[in-house]
A and B are shown apart, each in its own frame.
Chain A
């Protein structure tokens, strides 16, 4: 019979674990992705053909490629949502349920968009 206080009255470990996984993924992948997609291609340093529709479509349609895209994008979003949410507390705003819904919600929406997109492709 339980006479002790319940330990898990919150779900922080879930968000922290997503934050951790996302931190690893974003730590390794973001620099090169931003460099290529955000700078090298737009600046014309790499051929336009690298980001051609057919090429990227084929990558996203590939089950392996699609999975990679899914995890890199969504885990990074969960990582950032967690940090932004807790950052609100640091800044002096006392983030309530709505802030949590907003930040993690954006990550969830992003996850949904990516997931649905990749399934559809």
Chain B
């Protein structure tokens, strides 16, 4: 009996073919928007060096409707990144650390608390000493 194995090909758009792969694709794509948004921030830092006028025009750029749309999308994708990242981090840990079993749901919850804490700290720092 002779063998004649059939080699299947992977679907061209496999990354859109199941809900799980679509979610994965969104997760990976989030880095495109986040990366570009941070490049925007890099431009901001650079304009800071150039002086007040340059800085103000960068601030004005942030108000452009397309830029704001970009920020909205980036915010949503950033939250999605945070969600997926927080649930993945505990699995990079070994099953036991320092003599205790690693409690994954607890770790995830701690991450969300951390996000809340960081957000509050940044928010307060932003408004510190500013009179409306």
Contact = CB atoms under 8 A, between A and B. Distances in A.
A80 B28 contact: no
A84 B31 contact: yes
A13 to B, nearest CB: 14
A41 B58 CA distance: 12
Nearest to A90: B15
A33 B62 CA distance: 13
Given A43-B68, A90-B28, A27 B74 contact: no
Q: Is the interface of B mostly helix, strand, loop or mixed?
A: helix
B23 interface: no
B52 interface: yes
A54 B72 CA distance: 27
B48 A31 contact: no
Contacts of B67: 38, 42
Contacts of A81: 35
Contacts of B85: 23-24, 27
Q: How large is the interface on B (under 10, 10 to 19, 20 to 34, 35 or more residues)?
A: 35 or more
B68 A30 contact: no
A53 to B, nearest CB: 4
B75 A34 contact: yes
B102 interface: no
Contacts of A41: 59, 62
Q: Is the interface of A mostly helix, strand, loop or mixed?
A: helix
B63 interface: yes
A101 interface: no
Interface in A15-70: 20, 23-24, 26-39, 41-43, 46-47, 49-51, 53, 55-57, 60, 69
Interface of B: 12, 15, 25, 28-29, 31-32, 34-35, 37-39, 41-42, 44-46, 48-49, 52, 55-56, 59, 62-63, 67-68, 70-72, 74-75, 78-79, 81-82, 85-86, 89, 92, 111, 114-115, 118-119, 122-123, 126-127, 130-132
Interface of A: 20, 23-24, 26-39, 41-43, 46-47, 49-51, 53, 55-57, 60, 69, 73, 76-77, 79-81, 83-84, 86-87, 90-92, 106-107, 110, 113-114, 117-118, 120-121
